[in-house]
């Protein structure tokens, strides 16, 4: 088998997580991945699709899912067995910093003559630091759209050409760091290719299903993604994907959208391969209602049957909900008001009222929405423990109002990290935050702490780390009790969740007792390791509550085979 031109490696959050005592907490309860953040970014697919369309051979290897799938899987041996002209490692969100750096060292140890590339939001933010302080990293491609720069870099690596003309590249020459202009910032996503059949072909070529899974639970809860936008028109203070952050860190002055027709094509092609929900990234109203209407009309013409999951960044009117209903057979909606407190919500960067949230939920539920998910957060500017309790009481009123109407509120902490590059990280005093880690090394060190309380890289003027942790567990108990009383979850499910939360809270105290002693080490925590592992997933709710589909991966096999036969 020919050596790939590029192997894209996705690390776990902590490379040796299986050997450490890590109470990771409810940091991933409300996303598809596990607490080791095993979901690789959609950019892996777009980069691989772009290069493959131009004749390059790319392999994706999700090291995190391989490690989760088998205790016998040895990442060091696996990396040693690989070869490629170049290795790429994502450092998109900051929770991967320790795993990404350790994986880069592993690659460089076994393949010292092969260049190691990093990319993603966090890599872009720390690009110069990565090149100055980490000899295992040779290149960083900056920005949100590196498909074309990656092609240019691959050509330069293959032909031994100079790197001065590769856009968005930070690199090293004779020991000094070179920063090429961030010049490739496309104003449209219409040239971005998403090959939904890529994973199927690569699984067959490399005989590696686990390594190509987007996340561990994909086989039981398959999901596809269609990307409507890169960039954002909103300014949530904690987010590295905010409008200000895109301008400051990624050279983007305005969002780049995919045309309604091509976005609908993506959704339809995803359905050819996967029998499961398709999540449309970005509020389709961001570019205006005309864009949203055109996209929905395109979907209506294609008669899409998969469930479509839409995001709302702001409240909507009943007319929009009816338009969605008229265009789609099956759909669900997600909205993140973050808190019931409108003053706190405004400080977070979302200046809209509760009445808008409630009218949006009512409009979509009346229009036949499969489920309307509401996400609330703990650790916001201006938020106190009492305010968190108020959010739980507000949720109870919502449940009572929408009883039996498929409303699903969730709550979790802003964890583990405040995003580097976001406004709160850049201007913490202005927004009431205290940042506890600034550098790559400081974040990597926090990542290996034994309890998620010590991993948090921030406190606020209103809540300490201890209060954020306690409020998270208390809110989880409150939400669980409400769902049980309302009949939304069975009694045995509620009891399991209640027991897990109480056990996690107790274990957190036991870890505190160890960490408070001078000279403690990992051996002092060994007796708690199994309990920490068991209590680090589905902490404040059952993860299955987030599943959009009852279909498993195996229900998609006929579609995948059909797409291969059609060579699509």
The domains found in the chain, sorted by start residue, are 6-179 (3.40.50.280)
pTM: predicted TM-score of the whole model, two decimal places: 0.94
Which residues, listed in sequence order, are joined to residue 278 by a DSSP beta bridge?
A: 224, 308
What span, in angstroms and rounded, lies between the C-alpha atoms of 418 and 426? 10
What span, in angstroms and rounded, lies between the C-alpha atoms of 117 and 136? 9
Among residues 172, 173, 127, the alpha carbon closest in space to that of 146 is found at 127
The beta strands (E) that lie in 414-547 are given as 433-435, 458-460
399-448 pLDDT, tens per residue?
999 987 899 999 999 999 999 999 999 999 999 999 999 999 999 999 99
pLDDT above 60 for 559: no
Identify the H or E element spanning 559. Answer: helix 557-565
* pLDDT tier, 114 (very low <50, low <70, confident <90, very high otherwise): very high
Q: Which two tokens stand for residue 212?
A: 């190509």
What span, in angstroms and rounded, lies between the C-alpha atoms of 5 and 158? 8
Task: Tell me if residue 6 falls in helix, strand or coil.
Answer: strand
Vertex 100: Cα angle to 532 and 88 (nearest 5): 140
Among 97-106, 256-265, 272-281, which is the least confidently predicted range? 272-281
484-519 pLDDT, tens per residue?
988 888 999 999 999 999 999 999 999 999 999 999
Give the pLDDT score at 548. Answer: 58
CA torsion sign for 336, 342, 345, 351 is positive
* pLDDT tier, 224 (very low <50, low <70, confident <90, very high otherwise): very high
Vertex 235: Cα angle to 466 and 37 (nearest 5): 55
SS3 sequence of 250-311: CCCCCCEECCHHHHHHHHHHHHHHCCCEEEEECCCCCCCHHHHHHHHHHHHHHCCCCCEEEE
229-252 pLDDT, tens per residue?
999 999 999 999 999 999 999 999
Among residues 37, 33, 40, 36, the alpha carbon closest in space to that of 9 is found at 40
* DSSP 8-state symbol, 400: H
* DSSP 8-state symbol, 485: H
DSSP per-residue string spanning 158-217 = HHT--STT-TTEEEEETTEEEE-------SBSTT----TTHHHHHHHHHT-SGGG-SSGG
317-331 pLDDT, tens per residue?
999 999 999 999 999
pLDDT above 50 for 263: yes
Contact status, residue 48 vs residue 146, Cβ threshold 8 Å: no
CA torsion sign for 225, 228, 229, 235 is negative
Q: Which two tokens stand for residue 565?
A: 């036969």
What span, in angstroms and rounded, lies between the C-alpha atoms of 361 and 482? 19
What span, in angstroms and rounded, lies between the C-alpha atoms of 39 and 225? 12
Contact status, residue 331 vs residue 370, Cβ threshold 8 Å: yes
């Amino acid at each position: 088998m020919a050596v790939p031109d590029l192997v894209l490696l996705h690390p776990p959050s902590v490379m040796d997580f299986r050997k450490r005592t890590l109470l990771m907490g409810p940091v991933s309860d409300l996303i598809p991945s596990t607490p080791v953040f095993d979901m690789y970014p959609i950019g892996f697919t777009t980069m691989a699709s772009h290069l493959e369309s131009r004749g390059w051979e790319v392999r994706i290897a999700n090291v995190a899912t391989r490690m989760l799938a088998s205790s016998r899987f040895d990442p060091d041996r696996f990396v040693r067995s690989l070869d490629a002209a170049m290795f790429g490692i994502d450092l998109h969100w900051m929770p991967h910093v320790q795993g990404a750096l350790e994986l880069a060292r592993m690659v460089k140890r076994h393949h010292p003559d092969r260049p190691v590339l990093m990319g993603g939001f966090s890599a872009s933010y720390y690009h110069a630091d990565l090149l100055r302080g980490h000899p295992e990293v040779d290149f960083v491609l900056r920005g949100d759209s590196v498909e074309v720069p990656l092609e240019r870099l691959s050509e330069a690596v293959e032909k031994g050409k100079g790197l001065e003309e590769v856009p968005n590249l930070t690199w090293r020459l004779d020991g000094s760091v070179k920063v090429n202009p961030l010049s490739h910032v496309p104003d449209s996503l219409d040239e971005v290719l998403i090959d939904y059949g890529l994973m199927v072909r690569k699984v067959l070529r490399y005989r590696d299903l686990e390594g190509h899974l987007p996340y561990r639970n994909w086989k039981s809860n398959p999901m596809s993604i269609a990307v409507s936008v890169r960039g954002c028109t909103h300014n949530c203070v904690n987010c590295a994907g905010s409008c200000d952050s895109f301008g400051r860190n990624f050279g983007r002055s305005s969002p780049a959208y995919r045309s309604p027709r091509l976005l609908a094509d993506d959704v339809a092609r995803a359905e050819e391969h996967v029998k499961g929900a398709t999540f449309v990234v970005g509020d389709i109203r961001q570019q205006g209602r005309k864009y949203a209407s055109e996209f929905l009309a395109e979907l209506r013409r294609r008669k899409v049957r998969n469930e479509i999951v839409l995001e709302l960044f702001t409240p909507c009117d009943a007319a929009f909900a009816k338009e969605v209903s008229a265009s789609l057979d099956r759909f669900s909606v997600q909205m993140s008001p973050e808190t019931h407190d409108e003053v706190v919500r405004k400080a977070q960067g979302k200046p809209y009222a509760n009445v808008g949230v409630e009218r949006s939920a009512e409009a979509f539920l009346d229009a036949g929405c499969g489920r309307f998910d509401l996400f609330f957060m703990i650790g916001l500017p201006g938020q106190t423990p009492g305010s968190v309790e108020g959010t739980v009481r507000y949720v109870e009123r919502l449940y009572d109002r929408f009883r039996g109407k498929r409303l699903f509120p969730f709550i979790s902490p802003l964890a583990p990290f405040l995003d580097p590059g976001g406004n709160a990280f850049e201007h913490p005093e202005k927004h009431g935050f205290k940042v506890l880690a600034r550098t790559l090394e400081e974040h990597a060190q926090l990542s290996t702490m034994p309890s998620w309380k010590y991993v948090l890289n921030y406190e606020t003027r209103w809540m300490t780390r201890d209060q954020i942790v306690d409020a998270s567990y208390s809110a989880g108990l409150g939400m669980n009790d409400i769902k049980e009383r309302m009949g939304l979850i069975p009694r045995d499910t509620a009891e399991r969740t209640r027991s897990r939360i109480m056990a996690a809270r107790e274990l957190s105290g036991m870890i505190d007792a160890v960490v408070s002693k001078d000279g403690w080490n990992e051996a002092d925590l060994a007796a708690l390791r199994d309990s920490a592992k068991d209590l680090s997933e589905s902490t404040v709710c059952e993860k299955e509550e987030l599943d959009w589909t009852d279909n498993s991966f195996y229900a998609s096999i006929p579609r995948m085979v059909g797409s291969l036969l059609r060579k699509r």
